[in-house]
Amino acid sequence: MGYDYQAGMSYNAVKAYNEGKKPLSKWLPLVNKYFPGIKVNDIKEYFYNAEYHHTGKFYNETIMITREELVNTLFDNRFEIREKIKNRNNKQEKVYYNCEVKYLEWSGTRKHPIATEIIEKNCIVKDLPNQFFEIKTSSGEVFRKKQDTKGFYAFDAEGFRIYKK
């Protein structure tokens, strides 16, 4: 284990590239020919047992696959993937009223961050088609949160959690 400063990645990642593996995002131009409008999040779930490497300052998991793995997986799940893209493109925004929203507000420094949980009641939550929630608080403040933001929860008037699907 170690770091190849010339290549700008770990020795394991260099080895994976030499074996013909690339991050899923690097295969996207090829995949877009057969699945126009596809995004990494549409197909990431099908590679749950693929090799991955930690990348970047925050050690994000980056899936590394060969062309063969990509083609076989996409072929096996092609109908489900096309349906997912179609549903995403046709999705209408949905509005929820009298919601309770919980989210984290960050302060402090990068080295010593402080998270404060904020709870807003009687909010209007719009489920937007582009993987975001738009929240209007009772005080009139409007902000957006991405669907998979850690520490963000929205509950409808009956107390059920609002999920993105």
b/e code 11-21 from CB counts within 10 Å (16+ = b)? ebbbebeeeeb
Query: Around Cβ 133, how many Cβ atoms within 10 Å?
Result: 24
Query: Which pLDDT does position 122 carry in this prediction?
Result: 94
The token pair that represents 117 in the structure block: 């949980």
pLDDT in tens, 24-71: 999 999 898 888 888 888 888 899 888 888 888 888 888 999 999 999
Q: Is the pLDDT of residue 162 over 90?
A: no
Average pLDDT of the residues of the chain = 88
Query: Which pLDDT does position 18 carry in this prediction?
Result: 95
Alpha helices in 77-127 (DSSP H): 78-90
Q: Is the pLDDT of residue 165 over 70?
A: no
Q: Is the pLDDT of residue 139 over 60?
A: yes
Domain borders along the chain are: 3-90, 94-155
Query: Which pLDDT does position 36 carry in this prediction?
Result: 87
Q: Is the pLDDT of residue 88 over 90?
A: no
